[in-house]
Each structure stands twice: as C-alpha cells, then as structure tokens.
Structure 1
Amino acid sequence: MAIVRACWFVLALLLSAPVWAYQTRIVSIPSAAMQRSFDATVVLPDDYARGNHAARFPVIYVLHGSGGSYADWTSNTHIGKLADRYHVVLVMPDGGHESWYIDSPFDRNSRYETYVGSEVVSYIDTHFRTIASREARAITGLSMGGFGALRIALDRQETFGAAGSISGAVDPRNCEDEPGIAHVFGDPARHASFWNSNAIVDSAQDFEHAHIALTIDCGVSDFFVQSNRTLHEKLVELGVPHDYAERPGGHTWSYWSNSIRYQVLFFATGFQRAGWHPQVA
C-alpha cells in the first residue's frame, strides 16, 4: 500500500510540474551591410507550434556580451523557459566579439547596429509569426550587449518600444583598455567626440521623448555599477520613467541568469498592458 501511495504522489508531482516544451532553432541571418551571414538562436514558446497556427507573438531580442556569441544565453541560462512562461519569441543574434553593436566609422565591415536593429528584425518578422510592431518588440543584453541594446533602441525608436540593460557597459569610456574596442570606436584621444556621443550616460536626455519602456539593473559588486547609478540618477533628474534595480552579485552568469527573469517579466507585462499578447492574425 505504501508503494502505491508513493507512486501516486510521484505521479501527482509530475502532473503538477510545469512542462517546458519550447523549441530552440539556430538560423543563419544574412547581412547585406556586411556581406555575410551570422547564426542566431531563436526560441519559440510551446504554444507557437501547439496552439493556433495563425497566432502571432511579441519578440524580445537578447544580446550577448564582449567575446560572446549567439549561443551564450542558451548555454549558460534557462532562458528558454521564459519563452513558454510569458508566450514570447526570444531572439539571440550574434554581435561579434567586440563590435559594441555600432556601425563603426573606423571599420566598414563592422555594421552591427544595422544588422541587429534592422536586418535581424526584418528576417525574424518575415520568417516567424511575430507581431511586427514597436510596441511588441523589446531589446536587452548583458555588458556590451546592454550598451548595444540601449544604443540601438535610442537610434531606432520606430523599431523598439522597450529596452533593457543588464550589467550594461553604459559608459564605454571606462573600457578603453579592453582589447578591440578602439578598433570600432577609434583612438580614445583622437576621436573623443565619437566616444562621448555614443556613451549612454551622456545620452540620458535622449530618452526624454523616446517613449521607450526602460529597465536597467546591475549587481552591487559589478565594476559597472557606478556608471549605471549615474545613468539612473540622470534619468531621475530628467523625469524619465524607468525601472532600476541593484541586486547582490557581480559581472557573472549567476547574476545574469537571475536578472533576465526580471527583465523578461518587465517586457511581457508591458506587452500585456498594451494589449500585445499572442494574437490571431
């Protein structure tokens, strides 16, 4: 009898536990701007395949950091579960090892803002059932990707209605010694104006009229925490609505895997408030 009860207990646990049935696909996305293709990870929620095949979904673009790749988020976190939980499509494009997601005036072969902000979005909207509206698109990323997400969102306000940054390098002037950064930003002394104009901390006023739903967080032990605090303080002074958090942790996957859960919840809540839940075309 005890064995039977134990079996029923285990069965009840299995039936009550969430079943994660999201699909992960690796796609090759061409770039006309750079005359080559790059791989990207796309995570589709379970109801994308199992539900109404006419339903369309909001999209969250998630960028990797310096030295990373399109596979980082799925290799180091359980981000796929968030696609199922919040009924969103997650897209993780490749941003190069040290591109900073900008269109570099110093390297014509490094056009990653155009690639991620335009070409990847166009590909995803063409090949997947997305809600092709700025109000149903968000972009975020970690470290270099946090900088890139905010830079792209500011420069392409017609494309993204929400943006985030996780442990973001929001002031690249603090990263002058990072190998490869001068290749895309130029020499820090000779091209200081370019560095200054691209620093997110110096672009805070651009968020005033951007109408971007904004979420920023950083670990209290992270070497980028002070520049993130500075950005937060400037946004407060300007009266720019935004979500800001500091949590225990440093510049690590342990912190990022926890943070992404809050950011996806933030974006999904915004989608729902705007009425952009999965919908039938």
Structure 2
Amino acid sequence: MKEPVKSMNIHSRYVTDFGTRGKCFGCTHASGFTAEIKTTGKGSERYCKFCVTQKFPEAKAKYEKTDAKFSCPACLSKNESLRCNTKELTYDEYYVGSCCKNAGLWTYKTGKLFRQMTVQHIYEDARKDEDSAETAVENADAKVVEAKKVLENCEKTACEAAHVLDEKKKWRKTVQKRALFLANEAMKEDNSDLEDSDYEPEDGESEAAEEADEEHEFLLEKMSCKVCMEKFDDEHPEATIIPCGHKSCFHCLSSLPNKACPTCRAEFTMENVYKLY
C-alpha cells in the first residue's frame, strides 16, 4: 500500500492487538504506518509519521505498514443494534468498513476527506494485487498447456514404443520356433545311428519318444505352406515369414492376387516378406 501523505492514528480503544508494528511509542495510539527509530540510550522504538516529523526531523525513517488488529468502528456505539462485535479487522478492513453496514457508514461520515484518500490508496493496491494474481493465473494456464503438450508427446512415444515391442515379440517368437525346429532336426540327424541299434527303451521312454514325435509332427505342420500345404524342407525350401508372423512359400505369396495372409488375412506387401532360405 502507498504511504499516505498523513498518517491518521487510530485511538487505542479500537485496537484489540497492537502487533509488532502497530503502536506508536510517542502518542501510544495505533498508526497505519510506523518506523523504527534509534534513540539515544534507549535502543530503538517505533513511531508514527507525525511523531517522527515532530521529534526526529532529521531521521531517515523507513515506514512499515501496521500489523495491528482492530474492532468494528461502530463497536462503541450506544445503540447495541449497531455493534457487530468484530475484533480482528486489519488496517485496510477498518478503514473500508468491510465488517458490517454500520461500519461502512461510519467510514463514510467520520473523517471523510482523510478516509476517502486512505480508501483510494487501498483500492489502488487492491487493483495491483488483482493484476498480479491475474498474471499468475495466466502463467499457470500457459504452463498447463505446455504440460499437456509434453504429456501428449509422451503418450505418442509410449504408443510407438509399445508397437515396436509387439513387433519385436512377434519376431522373437518366429525365430524361437525356427530355432526349435532346426534344433530338433539336428538332434535327429546326430542320433540317426541309434535307429538300428539293439537299444531297448525303459518304461516310460517309449511314451516320451512318441510325444516327442507328435510334437515334431506338429512343428512340421506349423512349418508348412498354408497355400500349397507343402512342408518346408530341402526339396521345398522357399519358406518366408509375413509381418503377422505366419509362414508360406515365397512363390505362393507372390502369386496371390490380393496380398493378405492365408492364415489371418492380415494385409502385407512383398517388400515386407522375410525369406528364411
């Protein structure tokens, strides 16, 4: 708040709490502004503007707004119906008369000229505070907009990363199946000399062997073209993988009029087909 040209003191009977900057050591009343003045042999005391001008004209006073608390200006009225019994008014609230209608009338009628000037200062400060708050809101809104943009970019990046992860998983599964198939074929080739031996399987081994053969047949079935139904082997090596993960002959895929997976109908292009031979 701007410092008034004059600092009209408020009688102590309206003061409920002087605070630390409210009481003038000279006139003992509450003032809107006080300054701490160093005095000889007494340390320092706070004085209102009037007392500083009269007692310490050479002092360079730095005035601070009071933190005192006041009661309603109409609290001393003989008419009890006019009393609102408010006792925690600030300096600004006291002069504006914001606690009740009667306080507003008192503010208007008593000390009219000075109070109009004081209220005008309070109004100017209120406008500045409002402008500052409005600027803070605008800055906060701008940060919210920027944060939303960052969030949208992060969500987009996360979606793209999830898509890449799905593709990597599909490819890993495809390679894993191929590796299992090749390992199974290599195992059969390495143990081909055991087929004509006199080895008699123990109990349970025959069933395990049958299950392994069934699994092998299942893998062979999975590793066959879904168009011509030919198994992928040395005589028919044109195995290819479509982006969806299914396999077919390169020749069969090339001859399809509509490039769609024979298994799941997912569309593809020949540029995205990966050859396994």
Task: Report the TM-score range of the alignment, normalised by the length of the smaller protein.
Answer: under 0.3
- Counting helix residues as a fraction of each chain, which structure ranks higher? 2
- Counting strand residues as a fraction of each chain, which structure ranks higher? 1
Rg larger in 1 or in 2?
A: 2
The TM-score, its normalising length taken from structure 1, stands at 0.21
State the structure with bigger RCO (CA 8 A, min sep 6), 1 or 2. Answer: 1
The TM-score, its normalising length taken from structure 2, stands at 0.21
